[in-house]
Amino acid sequence: MKTSSVIQFLCLFLIIVFSLSVMRASEAIDSLLLEYKATSKDAFSAQVGEGLWIKEVKGRSCTTCHSSSLKQIGKHARTGKIIQPMSPSVNPERLTDVKKIKKWLLRNCKWTFKRECTAQEKGSILIWLNQQ
């Protein structure tokens, strides 16, 4: 194979792999949004999602661990564990697994807000995260 053919093949391969990750994220988010919409009375809002992300409660917010830029690496405030970027545009594996999304929304809402987030809040957060 010529060098140019190898480069073209690799580029095509990377495009396909990235596209599949984006499709998986979209499918997971769409599935959860349908579920959350069933118990929500209002439309989800990216603006509300962003507001929740930066909202501080007793010295904690989502940005405490995830940083204010979703395209950057975060660090857990208590354990120091590195948290990969939340932005699906930077980290295509983000928001691809329904079970993980539910687990982390539950855990992080309880840690940050001292309560479980409502379906309305979860939907708005997901809409906003998916736009990043």
Domain that holds residue 72: 3-130
Question: For 50, which DSSP code?
Answer: H
Q: What is the pTM of this model?
A: 0.79
Backbone angles phi, psi at 7, to 5 degrees: -65, -45
How many whole angstroms separate alpha carbon 30 and alpha carbon 123? 10
Measured on CA atoms in the order 17, 97, 66, 119, is the torsion positive or negative? positive
| 74 or 9, which is more confident | 74
Q: By mean pLDDT, which of 15-24, 76-85, 111-120 is the weakest? A: 15-24
Q: Token pair for residue 82?
A: 């590195």
Q: How far is CA 22 from the centre of its chain?
A: 12
Distances (CA, A) of 128 to 1, 13, 48: 44, 29, 8
How many whole angstroms separate alpha carbon 58 and alpha carbon 46? 24
**pLDDT per position as a tens digit, 32-78:** 999 999 999 999 999 999 999 999 999 999 999 999 999 999 999 99
Mean pLDDT of the region 12-27: 49
Q: Can you name the residues that pair with 74 across neighbouring β-strands? A: 83
Number of domains in the chain: 1
Find the CATH number of the domain harbouring 53. Answer: 1.10.760.10
Percent pLDDT > 90 in the chain is 74
Identity (one letter) of the amino acid at 119?
A: A
Q: Can you name the residues that pair with 75 across neighbouring β-strands? A: 82
- Counting every residue written for the chain, the total comes to 132
Q: What is the CA radius of gyration of the chain?
A: 17
